[in-house]
Chain A
């Protein structure tokens, strides 16, 4: 009998940063391998339901927002409970009454966009209304578990030859050790400080009680469903390539110009450049120049 898959506790950002998936033969289940070594087949998360859209008849998409980013949910005929929950929601009402929800489900990956990249969405096994207590529990639990994965990655990256046995000897449980070894192999360098900062930020936000609701302005426009953030990132990446006239990198001021024409402001552009640097997709050969790592 196959062991039941763990419902992983990961923040949206860790899931967004996934670049590798694991799938053996046909009988092997799908796993998204996160940069912190979680082998995610199923997740459980709690957040603010910010967007629901009927894509096709009886096929719904939704966005659930946590303090670090968005989870994308798709529910069709094989997710009857999740689908009927989303069906009953009036999308317009969410603007005035953001709703906390908890969900668990299977993570699915697909390639899309130009240049093609991996997108993840969740097929929910359930979506239910949640409250502040449930969210508090999830956030604290997820901080704790993410911190352990960061520590395990740190240990693994410091070992000359990270193996499952070495990690077990250092006291990490088996379900962490396996994924961490694979993550080191696939991702190589991982910006652990970035993730540690993310946790500190989550906790600091969280400490200021009562917890601030996610402000609607911060969310991507919802006129068109899709991973808006990722689309903008893809656009900026493209610009960097296009404007690298001499092979020494694209000039920041040129990028800013082009970004403004695309409706991306300076603050947003800076954020995107930071994110791309964090993920190792671009680098700064000299100051104010950006180059794509191919």
Chain B
């Protein structure tokens, strides 16, 4: 962490603790210890120091976030935003009618829906406020800002949030990218990149193909004419989303600005719902669900040694009489209650599912006098009706959603923890 960045966090802590409870030096050294020695996140480190000196963690003002940076699970965040709409509505909670409010907040990085049990009287449609201490929750695909009785609205001048959005650029997270989105802004880390020269109608061009990641997932990109470096965190403005082999691809061309930024991006791959993937596909995604159909043609198969076609006999429609090569594969439907995907599992992972190698299967089949139906049976027994996590490229095209499975593992739920968590949510 840079020196001035640390000083900024020290300032935040100083503002949140009672005057005279600690010196700047004490705060700085304790904060450094948490950050450098104990490797605690900045957020938690600051809160811990504030708590130690008897301060109020809600006053940690550096949790000011742009709307485009909000994440599910954020708590005690401050946003400076324009209240676009204020819609009151009545709902019934435990038999009692209550008036609540919902609408949208916006700043130059994006727009987000909010929900409030109550709003202070000074909050007006179109007003700009520093909104302190909100929570961010996720409802399936979307974020929602939760305003509680601890939320504070401080009026700000109108120009604190620019009125016009610049060129209508949409700030997006990687997982939200869908084919045909135009003019997006994305910030992410370059996970891999390769340079190549391609021939176009305008002559030879340099292009960098690679993978970009953020905390929501990964996406393939191609940068025309601008070099990008592996490991760099880049902010791309004005890129558009194309599609390549049924997966979204971020295309950066001459109209697009690319800048390297100092911020660090933590690349993660949360489990995504199949309904989300059905609409866009995705590169190297994780999904969870239950296998509800094991397709015929799963198990032991024979392929043409030249073209790989699956053969029923020893004759290939293209290559004539051949000696077929044995192989293993699984074609199965995964369903997570929101959507479904056809999963294609290669030989290596099928072997793992079976706990047997292809050679062992071939031997066993000979003992069964060439009847290999036991392979299908064994696969069904392991997969059918049971929950699994899959990882791989998700292809969304006219045939629906297909996942080329790169990894497959059974799901083990932490029953007690999950049940506790859900009880909390429901109460």
Contact = CB atoms under 8 A, between A and B. Distances in A.
A171 B139 contact: yes
B262 interface: no
B92 A137 contact: no
B411 A137 contact: yes
B141 A4 contact: no
A147 B335 contact: no
A137 B413 contact: yes
Contacts of A144: 422
Contacts of B290: 7, 44, 102, 104, 137-138
A175 B276 CA distance: 11
B293 interface: yes
A46 B413 CA distance: 15
A287 interface: no
Given A44-B290, A134-B387, A207-B420, A171 B92 contact: no
B340 A157 contact: no
B113 A203 contact: no
A155 B100 CA distance: 11
A118 interface: no
A265 B193 CA distance: 74
**Size category, A interface:** 35 or more
Contacts of A46: 385
B384 A128 contact: yes
B422 A145 contact: no
Interface in B68-110: 89-92, 94-95, 100, 102
B422 A147 contact: yes
Contacts of A134: 385-387
Contacts of B92: 154, 157-158, 192
Given A1-B400, A7-B292, A155 B339 contact: no
Nearest to B142: A171
Where chain A touches its partner, the secondary structure class is helix
Interface string B328-343: 0000010101111000
A133 to B, nearest CB: 7
Interface in A147-164: 147-148, 154-155, 157-160
B92 to A, nearest CB: 7
Given A158-B89, A171-B144, A209-B415, A6 B423 contact: no
Given A8-B337, A137-B413, A173 B292 contact: no
Contacts, number: 133
Interface in A101-139: 102-104, 125-126, 128, 130, 133-134, 136-138
Most chain A CB within 10 A, of B140, B275, B333, B422, is at B422
Interface in A38-95: 44, 46
B137 to A, nearest CB: 9
A173 to B, nearest CB: 5
A192 B419 CA distance: 20
Contact of B426 (A128, A172, A203, A207): A203
Contacts of A104: 290, 292, 335, 385
Contacts of B140: 148, 171-173, 176
Interface stretch (A193-201, A243-251, A255-263, A272-280): A193-201
A227 B197 CA distance: 70
A222 interface: no
B318 interface: no
B25 interface: no
List 4 tightest A-B contacts by C-beta distance, closest first: A102-B385, A158-B91, A171-B142, A171-B139
Interface of B: 89-92, 94-95, 100, 102, 113, 139-144, 273, 275, 290, 292-293, 333, 335, 337-340, 380-381, 384-387, 398-400, 410-413, 415-416, 418-420, 422-423, 425-427
9 contacts: A7-B290, A104-B292, A133-B410, A140-B413, A154-B92, A170-B113, A171-B141, A173-B275, A207-B420
Interface of A: 1, 3-4, 6-9, 44, 46, 102-104, 125-126, 128, 130, 133-134, 136-138, 140-141, 143-145, 147-148, 154-155, 157-160, 169-176, 192-193, 196, 199-200, 203-204, 206-207, 209
